[in-house]
Structure formats: C-alpha cells, structure tokens
Amino acid sequence: MKTKLLLSCLMLVALAACGNKTPESQAAKDVGNIPKQTIDKATNDLNANLQKGADRDKKEDQKQ
C-alpha cells in the first residue's frame, strides 16, 4: 500500500515537472536580457574610451 502511494506521488511529481511548459512572453525576455545588455554597453563604452585614450597618447607622442 505504501509502495503504491509512493510511486503515485513520484509519478505526479515527474508529470508536474516536465509537463507544464509555459511560453515566455517577449516582455519577459526583454526584462531578462537587461543585465546582459547593461554589461555589453558598459564593455563597449569602456573599449571606446580606452581607444580614445590610446589615440590621444599616440597624437601626443607624434607632436613631440
């Protein structure tokens, strides 16, 4: 009796875990992408500023 109850519970858990896939809305995907977009923007800004500094140093070296 306990074995049947245990197996029934395990079956229900297994079905509940894999049978309920709800589609993700576009708004939810956009909100989920915000941290990645923020990191990408910061990285791009940093790279651009480093390049500007390198160009400025190169121009100073050429003037001397």
pLDDT at 27 (0 to 100): 86
How many beta carbons lie within 10 A of that of residue 43, not counting itself? 10
Name the band, by pLDDT with cuts 50, 70 and 90, for residue 64.
confident
The H-or-E segment that residue 60 falls in is helix 26-63
**What are 13-51's pLDDT values in tens digits?**
877 777 656 667 888 888 889 999 999 999 999 999 999
Mean pLDDT over 55-60 rounds to: 90
- In angstroms, rounded to a whole number, what is the distance separating the alpha carbons of residues 59 and 30? 42
pTM: 0.52
Token pair of 36, please?
Answer: 């990645």
Question: Could you give the 3-state DSSP secondary structure of residue 10?
Answer: helix
